[in-house]
Structure 1
Amino acid sequence: MAVQIQFGTDGWRALIAREFTEDNVARVAAAHARYLRAQGGKRVVIGFDTRFGGARFARVAAGEFARRGLDVLLATEFLPTPALSFAVKHYGAAGGVMITASHNPPEYNGYKLKGPYGGSVTPSIARDVEGYIDAPDEPFGSEGRVESFDVRQAYYEALDRVLDVALLRTYQGELYHDSMGGAGSSWISEYARHANFEGLTVRPVRGEPHPMFHGVNPEPIPQNLELVSNLLAACQDPTFACVTDGDADRVGAVLAGGRVFNSHQIFAVLLKHLFDRGVRGRVVKTVSTSAIIDRLCEHLGLEVIETPVGFKYITDAFLEGEADERLAVLIGGEESGGLAVRGHIPERDGVLNSLLLLEAVAKSGKSLPALFADIERLTNFEHHYDRVDLHLDPAFDIKGAMRASLDWTDVAGQGVQEVVTKDGVKFVLQGGAFVMLRGSGTEPVLRVYVEAPSEDAVQVLLAEAVRRVHAFGTPNASSSSAGEDSTAPSPRA
């Protein structure tokens, strides 16, 4: 029987050689081609990251599009997802394909769909494409052409228009870049050369492209960053390391001394920096993102839009802003480190956001932790956060556990002030903390998110929430915190 293919938060992903096969890639590409033909599309752009078989899977997809009469621009070497998304818009294509499983373990690959605007497809487009899977073909007509492309120079010129290049040329210092063996390899150091940042030394970490990502999952969270944390242990502020995930659309950071600077802190610093530069607009955040974003926006007089988890919802908001200036988005971001900013494509871009973090340091003369401490003082909000992923037995009723949690009136003695069910179940507690439960859309995993005024409070709330989940059923595997080692090879929504 044919494998059932369903799109998650950003396309389709599966285990290589099990579900992710040439035949199944062909099925998805054929459906995508049928959709684009129905929309009058004539051209598609296809890229891939450093994962095993990426180039071959990309060629398979290209063949399906060409057979259905679409011209194909096919990458000849790996490139970051944001560069592929930029290429879709730059070349006026009807859509794009990125062969990548992003931050997932190396055993996985995936198929990301990109819209003509240069970003993740909206939920409605994803549903429409999924509806064409295994549908009867219309007559194809003449075959399309398959040609190669190289968008690096044009992409760098697009970054020039977003960044304060003149300011960055004055910066004297070091920037470490851990590309984790992924598609971001060399893209920041080459940009620095392109822009003539003579005072900046970019030091690559795991810069050699690697299909197994040098032995870690290519996700910029603490358990995967021991190497770069050790390298930064002896450094002094304001030096820091930017970290890009497997396809370089997400960004992480490690501070001098080796401490991880989390995604919420990155979001807040970039928001404040762009505001100080004079950029205005709405701020879009997913429901699992820190309340410090809301506090900062309240202080700055900015409207906040909260969405379910999935960057496609943020893309929707950016597209609304492109259609109506009054709805323009300043920045949109998610808990996983994906951020998009005004003036660029409506897409997560780990390369650009790494350079914007450096720009914030260069402009202020302060380190990243000092900039975030300023925001905490400004908002009178102290940020502490952690997340646990519970890998459960497939028979465990995750939806039932979340339904049962709706009866919670407190967590560890802190009263529930509000229950938000936009995506999973989020408990806003008295005193400013929140606890959130959210099931993965692709695997038996329940994520538990906690933010609280102190690190001790975070751990107390996490422990209590996990205990209650265990009381509902019996997980088959141990939980894995964002600060602990976890090697479970599972895709993360």
Structure 2
Amino acid sequence: MDPIKIKFGTDGWRAIIAQEYTVDNVKRVAEGTALWLKQQGGTRVVIGYDCRFAGELFTESTARVLGKHGITSLLAPTFISTPMVSLGVVKTGADLGVVITASHNPPSYNGFKLKSKLGGPSIPDDVTAVENLIPDEVPTDLPTIEELREQGLIEDHDFEQIYLDHVYANFDMDLIRNADFGIAYDAMYGSGQSAMIKLLPEARHLHCEYNPSFMGQAPEPIGRNLTQLSDVIKKDPKLSLGIANDGDADRIGLFDENGDFVDSHHILLLLLMYQYEYKGIKDGEVILTFSVTDKLKQLAEQYGLKYEVTKIGFKYIAEIMAEREVIVGGEESGGLAVSGHIPERDGIWIGLMIAEYMAKTGKSLNDLIQDVYDKVGSFNCDRDDVHVENDRKWEIVKQAEENPFKKIGSYTVTDVKHLDGTKFFLDGDDRWLMVRPSGTEPVLRVYAQGADAAETRKIIDAGRAEMSI
């Protein structure tokens, strides 16, 4: 049987365990990684795995392939988050990071992410170069882990502790722990669980056990997947903040004191306000992906800051953060980054920053959101992922690009922008509808912003009616 062609997607290679994601195919990817790294003169790689099935086995398989090429693998004693790998690369001076994770995908998946020596995602050109070096053949005659240890080609590092030390150096953890509000944390059975139990021992911890099945739930920290966290907050008046992370803890979900979900659009605005007004960080730019609210540009303009809109995918933000000072960067799907840390999404870090903001100001999360609204006006954002036949999906995308709507429902289209999908501005700048295809699934993503939840839903429904989906 011919070997499968392994392709890296937006954030690494992902596949279903025991179908395409096998030990042999992981060895092939590791071989391509080793060949590329040797071309760069690299000799040391941090390898980490999350809480998915057989993470340790796939990690050791990767280390054995790298070891055959004389490359040293730096390993953690147990599962760690993706940001712990990225920070570990920086702190140890390693040349590359590898994370065995499928992030927020369903439990049947695993994956292989590459992290640069700068502490963020490897740039697309480097990922493509690795992909092109993946052989059809499975590497053989590999050394054992014991043999690699004897040769000094395995190093043991406590990357979780390195990360915790970094947190303690950058946050007032005593202030957060002793604040007059309670915190609930949902690990979604992911790799943030151990660190957050240590950082916030008094918090209410949900799904902080090792369970590779994730109880059948994709560990994606969005509102509909976190109803238990919401209910816990609603039933306990002492709890005023809910934090959730995905499987590898690089994304965040947030809940206010009412148990209501707070989306990434609002979190980005909160982070910018905290960094600029309270922490005094005024040098740098604001980077946002195309699907993020334009209110973030509005706040950046009020602060006199430059901003840039990128295609969707954190890798585009990370590329800019590697070269320029960025105060806040983020995407709609929960991947957010700030200055003073690595150029990487980090759900734990962002959660702690919001908790510290609340503790320092003595304000509730809703009070802080109102501060944002006082500056840029209130708004609501939402998204539908609509399953459509692929042919129909691309028809709609082509129409949006070549013959865009003049009206959507009762709204007049006043401007149209194309970058990574198409965004229709409706009756001005505060309302919009955006259409973007999934590159891998028969799914059309329909985003919208309105004044409130009811208007946002009205805009999405009107857009779907126009597109007959």
Q: Shorter-chain-normalised TM-score: which range?
A: over 0.9
8 Å contact from structure 1 (residues 68, 141) kept in 2? no
2:167 counterpart residue number: 159
Quickly say closer, same or farther: Cα 1:21–1:136, change in 2 above 3 A: closer
Letter in 2 for 1:227: Q
Output the CA distance in 2 between the equivalents of 1:467 and 1:134: 47
1:268-304 alpha-carbon deviations (Å, 9 max, x no partner): 1111111121112101111111122112112222111
1:198 counterpart residue number: none
Letter in 2 for 1:441: G
2:4 counterpart residue number: 3
CA-based RMSD: 2.2
TM-score by length of 1: 0.88
Output the CA distance in 2 between the equivalents of 1:302 and 1:160: 29
1:367-390 alpha-carbon deviations (Å, 9 max, x no partner): 1111011111111x2211110011
Letter in 1 for 2:221: P
Task: Map 1:24-39 onto structure 2 (within 5 A).
Answer: 24-39=25-40
Output the CA distance in 1 between the equivalents of 2:74 and 2:388: 42
Deviation at 1:82, TM superposition (A): 0.5
Letter in 1 for 2:424: F
Output the CA distance in 2 between the equivalents of 1:228 and 1:316: 34
8 Å contact from structure 1 (residues 329, 342) kept in 2? yes
8 Å contact from structure 1 (residues 438, 448) kept in 2? yes
Q: Unpaired segments of 5 or more residues in structure 2?
A: none
Deviation at 1:237, TM superposition (A): 7.1
1:389 counterpart residue number: 385
Task: Map 1:88-107 onto structure 2 (within 5 A).
Answer: 88-107=89-108
Task: Map 1:198-237 onto structure 2 (within 5 A).
Answer: 201-236=202-237
Output the CA distance in 2 between the equivalents of 1:351 and 1:52: 22
SS of alignment partner, residue 163 of structure 2: helix
Output the CA distance in 2 between the equivalents of 1:292 and 1:238: 29
8 Å contact from structure 2 (residues 385, 443) kept in 1? yes
SS of alignment partner, residue 6 of structure 2: coil
Quickly say closer, same or farther: Cα 1:470–1:3, change in 2 above 3 A: farther
Task: Map 1:358-437 onto structure 2 (within 5 A).
Answer: 358-379=355-376, 381-393=377-389, 395-406=390-401, 407=403, 408-431=405-428, 432-437=430-435
Q: What percentage of aligned pairs have identical amino acids?
A: 38
8 Å contact from structure 1 (residues 72, 147) kept in 2? yes
Deviation at 1:428, TM superposition (A): 2.2
Letter in 2 for 1:470: S
Output the CA distance in 1 between the equivalents of 2:63 and 2:466: 49
2:46 counterpart residue number: 45
Task: Map 1:277-292 onto structure 2 (within 5 A).
Answer: 277-280=279-282, 281-292=284-295
8 Å contact from structure 1 (residues 158, 344) kept in 2? no
8 Å contact from structure 1 (residues 13, 20) kept in 2? yes
Deviation at 1:456, TM superposition (A): 2.4
Output the CA distance in 1 between the equivalents of 2:306 and 2:169: 25
Deviation at 1:68, TM superposition (A): 1.6
Output the CA distance in 2 between the equivalents of 1:122 and 1:160: 29
1:450 counterpart residue number: 448
1:438 counterpart residue number: 436
Task: Map 1:168-247 onto structure 2 (within 5 A).
Answer: 168=176, 170-192=178-200, 201-236=202-237, 239-247=240-248
1:21 counterpart residue number: 22
1:310-341 alpha-carbon deviations (Å, 9 max, x no partner): 111111111112xxxxxx11111110111111
Output the CA distance in 2 between the equivalents of 1:105 and 1:74: 25
Deviation at 1:266, TM superposition (A): 1.4
1:352 counterpart residue number: 349
Quickly say closer, same or farther: Cα 1:210–1:274, change in 2 above 3 A: same
SS of alignment partner, residue 183 of structure 2: strand
1:483 counterpart residue number: none
Deviation at 1:137, TM superposition (A): 11
1:315 counterpart residue number: 318
Deviation at 1:161, TM superposition (A): 3.0
8 Å contact from structure 2 (residues 24, 138) kept in 1? no
Output the CA distance in 2 between the equivalents of 1:147 and 1:64: 15
1:178-203 alpha-carbon deviations (Å, 9 max, x no partner): 0011101121231246xxxxxxx211
1:484 counterpart residue number: none
Output the CA distance in 2 between the equivalents of 1:456 and 1:203: 32
SS of alignment partner, residue 391 of structure 2: coil
Letter in 1 for 2:280: G
Output the CA distance in 1 between the equivalents of 2:468 and 2:24: 40
8 Å contact from structure 1 (residues 45, 72) kept in 2? yes
Output the CA distance in 2 between the equivalents of 1:60 and 1:412: 55
Output the CA distance in 1 between the equivalents of 2:412 and 2:47: 50
Output the CA distance in 2 between the equivalents of 1:226 and 1:75: 33
Quickly say closer, same or farther: Cα 1:236–1:374, change in 2 above 3 A: farther
Letter in 1 for 2:289: T
8 Å contact from structure 1 (residues 31, 135) kept in 2? no
Q: Which moved more, 1:428-437 or 1:11-20?
A: 428-437
SS of alignment partner, residue 239 of structure 1: strand
Deviation at 1:440, TM superposition (A): 1.6
Output the CA distance in 2 between the equivalents of 1:82 and 1:297: 26
Output the CA distance in 2 between the equivalents of 1:469 and 1:16: 36
